[in-house]
Amino acid sequence: MDPSSKPYELVAHRGYPSRYPENTRLGFEKAIEAGALRIEADVQLSADEVPVIFHDQTLVRLCGHKGAVHRSTKAQLDRLSPFEPGRFGNRFKGVRLMDLQDMVELLQRNPKVVLYLEIKRIALKAFGVNRVLDRILSIIESVKHQVVLISFSIYALKAAKLRGYQRLGPVLSRWAEICHPSVVKMEPEVLFFNHKRLPLGARYENPRVELAFYETSDSNVADSLADKGARLIETDAIGEMIRGEL
């Protein structure tokens, strides 16, 4: 099937991690160059409460360095490189850590791109919901029409809604949560779910809410998930999936 005729859209999961270090400006720029109009990124706070684009709690896997994001100042993080030595060796050594302001600038240059920004639970635990939202919402104000806040924390998303933020997407741990009153009442734009946890026979039908499955780089799997009601598919190999090579 022609990729352009697929019944779902692709989301670049953490940029283009099959080819470039995840959650980096390089990876996101390459994903957009490859045709991505939807991207997903993770955000947490440094010790001095600067929102940075980073998935892991610790720095080991991505930076080859001991420590944790929320216990390191932004200045300390800026001296590190999230080059993923375990996967890429020294090929990308020197790529710099991306912060949320960098992401805002990327979105401003690409006004058709939608960002699904996952608020990491470690930040909420370390700093509290209100402080995290204070830091994030003030930075994304100019591009909020392009940003969907997503999180495993329903509480954090409800708090964002109370502040007037409308574009929200819970990341569900269990399929049964799809009908939970707290989720339904939120009136989410999208629901994210791990396709490997999908119960046998499950199917989602709600034209008002997009269902996103994470993540696969197999077009056959993606097609089967579309039959389950998926309208968004997250992938690590955005370019190859768009071109129909996988």
In the predicted structure, residue 70 carries a pLDDT above the cut 80: yes
In the predicted structure, residue 16 carries a pLDDT above the cut 90: yes
- Could you give the CA distance from residue 116 to residue 146 in angstroms, rounded to a whole number? 9
Average pLDDT score over residue span 205-219? 96
pLDDT at residue number 5: 77
pLDDT at residue number 2: 59
Contact 92, 83 (CB under 8 A): yes
Query: Is 167 inside any structural domain?
Result: yes
pLDDT at residue number 4: 65
Strand partners, 194: 214
Domain boundaries, position 189: 3-56+98-243
Query: Is 121 inside any structural domain?
Result: yes
Query: Is 72 inside any structural domain?
Result: no
- Could you give the CA distance from residue 102 to residue 177 in angstroms, rounded to a whole number? 34
Summarised one tens digit per residue, pLDDT across range 92-132 is 999 999 999 999 999 999 999 999 999 999 999 999 999 99
At 219, which CATH number? 3.20.20.190
Query: Is 125 inside any structural domain?
Result: yes
pTM: 0.97
Class of residue 141 by CB neighbours under 10 A (exposed 0-12, middle 13-18, buried 19+): exposed
- Could you give the CA distance from residue 124 to residue 156 in angstroms, rounded to a whole number? 8
Query: Is 139 inside any structural domain?
Result: yes
Q: How many CA atoms lie within 13 A of 105 on its CB side?
A: 7
Mean pLDDT over each residue of the chain, to the nearest integer? 96
Query: Is 74 inside any structural domain?
Result: no
Token representation of residue 96? 């710099």
Query: Is 62 inside any structural domain?
Result: no
Query: Is 183 inside any structural domain?
Result: yes
Summarised one tens digit per residue, pLDDT across range 26-47 is 999 999 999 999 999 999 999 9
Write out the DSSP string of 192-231.
EEEGGGPPTT-----TTSEEEEE----HHHHHHHHTTT-S
Summarised one tens digit per residue, pLDDT across range 44-59 is 999 999 999 999 999 9
**Number of domains observed in the structure of the chain:** 1
Average pLDDT score over residue span 216-225? 97
